[in-house]
Amino acid sequence: MCGRYTITVQPELLAERFNAALPPEMSEPRYNAAPSQTLPVILNENEQQIQLLRWGLVPHWSKTPDTGYRMINARAETLEEKSTFREALRRRRCLVLADGFYEWKKTDDGKVPMRITLKSGEPFAFAGLWETWKDRETGELLRTFTIITTTPNDLMVPIHDRMPAILLPEMERTWLDDSAGPERWRELLRPYPADLMRAYPVSRLVNSPTNESPALVAPAYQE
């Protein structure tokens, strides 16, 4: 599962890394990105533009947007088996922009929040799916996304039994490429190389999505 993540780099650096324009309303760095929040993604329909979508997938056929609270993640292994995700995989894939994510490790002292990043500290992209939902009464459109998860790599095994599907940089555009096809897309949803990642404990302040400050990403001990 991936239920919280970070985007701490300056927006301009994010735009440079992904070679995409920033939206005018792009927010400041996020230290505790949480479901139901509006966050930066790149859609397969416009790869040169970073857009802001709400986290929590609401299928176009849903009667209400409440389903989004239950669909923050999609399992890579069953995407084509689930009607909720099958069509989105074929037509609506996205890059979810981040530079770290949180997971809670079970210990004798309770659950300890861990932040997981690349050793380089550079931003990266989760593989995601997106949808557009239309309110039948008002006609208002709501665009949402979900983060795909996969099996854990060696770094994640002691922490959790799932991890977000982080795309290798050279494979990001393949994920967005409509002509690549399901077989190729499936190959991309593998655990990211563990030797390129690091994990460290952080403050339990991150447990509440209302907390948002640089203190959340500081190590809970001196490395």
How confident is the model at residue 68, as a pLDDT? Answer: 57
Rounded to 5 degrees, φ, ψ at 135 are -70, 120
In a 13 Å sphere around the CA of 47, the CA atoms on its Cβ side amount to: 12
Q: Which two tokens stand for residue 142?
A: 């709501």
What is the arithmetic mean of pLDDT over 126-132? Answer: 97
Looking from the CA of 92 toward its CB, the CA atoms found within 13 Å total 21
34 near 209, Cβ under 8 Å?
yes
Please state, rounded to an integer, the average pLDDT across all residues of the chain. 94
In this structure, what DSSP letter does residue 54 have? E
- Has 2 been annotated as catalytic? yes
In the predicted structure, residue 178 carries a pLDDT above the cut 50: yes
Q: How confident is the model at residue 109, as a pLDDT?
A: 85
Name the CATH topology of 5-101+121-193.
hypothetical protein yedk fold (3.90.1680)
For the cut 50, the answer to whether the pLDDT of residue 60 exceeds it is yes
Tens-digit pLDDT profile for residues 66-119: 765 689 999 999 999 988 899 999 999 999 999 999 999 999 889 999 999 999
Is 94 known to be catalytic? no
Phi, psi of 33 (to 5 degrees): -65, 130
- Under the banding of pLDDT at 50, 70 and 90, the label for residue 5 is very high
Burial tier of 78 (Cβ tally within 10 Å: 0-12, 13-18, 19+): exposed
Q: What is the pLDDT of residue 69?
A: 67
Q: How many CB atoms are closer than 10 A to CB 133?
A: 22
At position 8, the amino acid (one-letter code) is T
What's the pLDDT band for 188 if we cut at 50, 70, 90?
very high
Distance (Å) of CA 151 to CA 24, 118, 158: 36, 17, 12
* 42 or 220, which is more confident: 42
Q: List the chain domain ranges.
A: 5-101+121-193
pLDDT tens, position by position, 23-45: 988 878 999 999 999 999 999 99
Side chain identity at residue 80, one-letter code: E
Catalytic option among 94, 103, 131, 172 = 103
Q: Where are the alpha helices (DSSP H) in 77-219?
A: 83-91, 172-176, 182-188
Active-site position among 2, 94, 131, 172:
2
Give the pLDDT of residue 223. 41
